[in-house]
Every structure is written in C-alpha cells, then in structure tokens.
A and B are shown apart, each in its own frame.
Chain A
Amino acid sequence: MHNSSAITAITQKNKKQSQFAVVLRRLSKNPSAIIGLIVVCLLVIMAIFAPLIAPYPYDKQNLLNTRKPPSAEHIMGTDELGRDIFSRIVYGSRYSLSIGFLAVLFSNIIGMTLGALAGYFGGLVDDIIMRLIDIIQSIPGILLAIAISVVLGPGFINTLIALGFGAITMACRLMRASVLGIRHQEFLEAAISNNASTFRIITKHVIPNSFAPVLVGATMSIGNVIMSAAMLSFIGLGIQPPTPEWGAMISGGRALIRSCPWMVTFPGIFIMLTVLAFNMLGDGLRDALDPKLKK
C-alpha cells in the first residue's frame, strides 16, 4: 500500500516535471518571450537593488540644479526640484512592479476560487456568481478603479484594492471556462467515486488542471494593472508625489512639457517597456501552453 502510493507519487512528480519542461522548452524557442522574460527579470533586479543602482537618493533635492536636460551626471536629467530622474525611475519600479504582482495575485486567488465554484457546481451558484461578474464587467475597469480609489483615498494598499477588484472578473471567467472543460473527465469522476471531499477535489484536481489559461491571463493582466496604476496616479488618485511613481512623475512633468520634455518622456518609456515585457511573456506563455494555436 505504502509502496504503491510512493510509486504513484514518483510517477506523478516525473510527469509534472516533464510537462513543465516541455512548456519551458517551447518558451525558450520563442525569442520574443525570452526578451520579455529577460526585461521582466532586469526590472525585478532593478526594483530589489534600487539603492545600489540609483546614483542618487530618489528624494535628494538640489535647488541649484533644477530642470537640467540629460547629461553625464544625470543621464535622464533632473526635475523641478533638482532630483535625479533616473534614480526616481529606478525606485519607482518598486511601486509599479509590486502593485502589478500583488493586485494580480490577490484578484486571481479570489477570481479563481469564484470561477472554480461556479464551474464546478453549476446551476444556481454559477448563475449568481456569473451574473454578478457580468454586472461588475459592465463598468469599464478603469472607471471602477477610479470610483474605488476616490472612496479609499490615495496610498499603496488602497491602489492595490482598487485595481485588484476589477481584475477578479477575468480570472473568474477563465477559471470557470477551463473548469467546465474538464468537468466531465474521468479523473474527476474517479476522485468523486473515491469519496474525496469537494474541497479536496477543487483544490487538488480542478484548480491544478485548469491553471494554464489563468496563468496566461494573469501575466497579461500584470501589464494592464501597471498601466492602470500609472493612470490613476496621473489623474491624482492612487500613489501620489513625493513617492516616485512613474505615472505621478509624468503628471508632475506635464505642466513643464514645453521646456523639459525629459521629465515626461523617460517615465513613460519605462511604463511602456514594463507593460510590453509582460505582454510579450504572456503571449509566449500562451503559445507554449497551447501549441494548437501556434500551428
């Protein structure tokens, strides 16, 4: 008995590893996905080691050296208070990336649970959850985020909640669709006939087997959330100055766009690069997990 379960555990492990290896191999053959992955890794390194990479402290003012164009000392110029823009961008990556990752993580945990419940139970549970999701989705995402941030006020956690709320819907839909796809397969019937509890079936069988589309969706929505976070900061909600958030930096430089365009240009390039990298990685993951589409 012990022996046989140990053997199944081993074979299962091998099988999982090989599946993972297949996906990884397919991913490594996709140059654009690799570029995306490298850029994401570089950005994460930049965020973690910000104090070592940034040449100046992000809040160090120098009122004798304000609004200077890019030069050897300040490669991206200085802002209206003489702060080094490159250093602020380096520190800003911390806010953008952590909001992106955390908002998507939390919204996916909630969305996946709701989606798994809706898909697994069907009937009334499905109707109630999905109609609610329909109603939330009738409000364009950024407008919902604006309404929530107006109520919660500025700040990191509040922005996280405002952006995460709207992202629940997509995770829920993707999860429900893939649960419906595996709903009547034999291994689920086997688990049910083994008298496994519903909780166990959902957490051990349903979620792992329908994870792929959710993972792709999550990677794509990290990019979206980062862009929306910048947009919230830009219109005066979300994370606010003096915090060096990229959207807030663009907002701060907006009035000076004629005389110092570099204050607006560089933070925007970094938002674009970050979002682009996550989208390239997401596209690559989608193709690697679903080779049917690529053929």
Chain B
Amino acid sequence: MGRYILKRLIWMIPVVLGVTILVFSIMYLIPGDPAKMMLSPEATPEEIAAKREELGLNEPYLVRLGKFLGGIVFRFDFGDSWVYNQPVTKELLNRFPRTLTIAVICIGLQIIIGIPLGIIAAVNQNGLGDRISMFIALFGISLPNFWIALMLILFFSVKLGWLPPFGIDGFKYYILPCIANAFPGIATQARQTRSSMLEVIRSDYITTARAKGMSELQILLKHALPNALLPVITIIGNGMGMLLAGTVVIESIFSIPGIGMYLVGGINSRDYNIVQSSVIFLALAFTFIMLLVDLAYAFIDPRIKAQFARKHKRGHHA
C-alpha cells in the first residue's frame, strides 16, 4: 500500500514538469512582442529594448523555460502579468476558491442526480426507466454549457426574475452557473454508472446471492452498488477536469471573478502570461485532484491493496 502511494506521488513530478513545459512551449511560439504591449504605444525603440532586457525576453528559450519552471516549482510564483504588472500568483490564489466552489457544487449535483439515474436505468434495463434516464443523459452530454447558461438566464432571470443573472454576492448567485455547468457531468455520470452496474449485475456473485434467496433490494445495496461504484469514483475525478475547464465559459457569462474569467480577460487583453499561468494552474489543480482520487481508490478497492501486498510478500521471500 505504501509503495503504491509512493509510486503515485513520484509520478506527480514528471506530470507537473511535463504540463508546465508543454504549456510554456506552446505559448512561447506566440507572435508579437510582450514588451511592446506592456508599454504605451508611443514608447521609443530604446525603451522597448530596455523592457525586453528587464523581462528577460532576450534570453534563449531554455533559460526562460528554466526560470519560469523554477519560479513555479520552488516559489510557486507564476511571474507578473504583462499588462497590469501585477503578480499573477496572488490573483490566481484569490480567485481559485470561487472556481473551486462552483466545481465542488457541480460534483455534488453530479453524484446526487447522476448516480441514481444510472442505477434506475441499470435496474430497469431496456425498460421505461432505462429509456427515459438514458435519453435525459444523452441530451445532457449534447448541450453546450455556454448556451444552456444563456437560456437559463433568459428564462430564470429575464422572464421570471427569480435569480440574478450575474455577480457573486451569495448563495442565490451560484444556482444558475452551477446548473449550467453540471449538465454534462450529470449525464456522463449516469451513463457510466449504468454500464458499470450492468457489468456487476451479470457477475457470478450476484447470481450466487440470488440463489441464496437474498431479496433484490439487499442484493442491490450489499453487493451490486459497492462494486459498481468503484469505477464511478474515477469518473468523478475526470469530471473535475471537465468542470474546472467548463468554468472558463461559465464564469465569463455570469461575471464571476474566478480563474476562468481571469483567463478569458487575459485572452482579450492579450496578456499571455495570465493565459499561460491560468491554464497551468487549472491543469495542476486537476492533476492534484486526480492524485487524491487515485489514493482514495486504493484505500477503497481491496484489489489494489491485495495486488501490492502480494508483491510485497513475494519480495520478502526472495
């Protein structure tokens, strides 16, 4: 068990470095001169050259990459914004709780709605309940979240006036963004829960339980559900990635000052360090969540535990 955790933790190092290097290298290819953009349009060529020197833009690719990487790894410092000259890290950390709140509420909705829908579908396979819940799920994964967000605003804010269309001053403000962002996750969760349940229902130990004379409800709760929910945990982790990315559009529609809106602002003002840092920050948050999910998985799933315990034993004998 300890070895699994250690292995998984060590794997984080290449992922963090890889993600940072990949995004930095993509953004390195950007045309245009950041020094020119940071100064006023009337800046002289000498001033621009001085600024380039100050920002270290004249240094070769590897030196710049090393500095950026070193800043993130050792000091968790993403550098300064090009347009506002403000430290990006502070802004990211201030905004992250709002983005995370939306993502966590959406995960909650995904679990509360998606898993029961999937169970209903699997238990009534090919019946009416299955058809209806899978049709809802198919619709859910086909809805563009930015469009559903606008439709929700149109209906609940403009027409009915029940909920605020933008801002973030309290619980009420989170309702529409979370619903809009949760749709694809709920649908994916329902579909995966269904197929995972169907696989379990067909296995021998369910037949055995039935032969023993257990009631269908008991079989469902004691045997089928615990086994079917294991793969479902992975979906929750992946869903987190989708949700964090989804907030980019959702936040800018609902004017929620989270990382997504920061990122879109960076695109519009051509402040590419904001774009680069926000993408890396969200990707790192996602990898960290996946790490937690994998570790949780190892604790819950006896098969992973057994796998490593066996190896351990064999090692001792040899």
Contacts and interface: CB of A to CB of B under 8 A. Distances in A.
Does A associate with B in a complex? yes
A142 interface: yes
Nearest to A228: B144
Interface in A132-148: 132, 134-136, 138-144, 146-148
Nearest to B270: A150
A236 B252 CA distance: 12
Chain B interface helix/strand/loop/mixed = helix
A290 to B, nearest CB: 11
A235 B252 contact: yes
A85 interface: no
B166 to A, nearest CB: 12
Among B144, B154, B276, the one with the most A-chain Cβ atoms within 10 Å of its Cβ is B144
B283 A139 contact: yes
Contact of A234 (B141, B146, B272): B146
A279 B147 contact: no
B287 interface: yes
B151 to A, nearest CB: 7
A150 B148 CA distance: 25
Interface residues of A, number: 45
A254 interface: yes
B142 A138 contact: no
Given A138-B286, A140-B282, A147 B276 contact: yes
B142 A279 contact: yes
A279 B26 CA distance: 31
Most central of A147, A148, A223, A293 by chain B CB within 10 Å: A147
Interface residues of B, number: 50
Given A268-B147, A293-B195, A150 B15 contact: no
A227 B143 CA distance: 8
B139 interface: yes
B138 interface: yes
Contacts of B148: 268
Contacts of A235: 248-249, 252, 264, 267
Given A139-B23, A264-B151, 7 more contacts: A136-B22, A138-B290, A237-B267, A261-B154, A268-B150, A275-B142, A279-B141
Interface of B: 14-15, 18-19, 22-23, 26-27, 29-31, 138-139, 141-148, 150-151, 153-154, 158, 195, 198, 241-242, 244-246, 248-249, 252-253, 263-264, 267-268, 272, 275-276, 279, 282-283, 286-287, 290
24 contacts: A131-B18, A139-B279, A140-B283, A141-B245, A143-B248, A143-B282, A148-B26, A150-B27, A151-B29, A153-B31, A231-B146, A234-B249, A235-B249, A235-B267, A236-B264, A254-B150, A254-B253, A261-B154, A264-B151, A265-B151, A272-B143, A279-B138, A280-B138, A283-B138
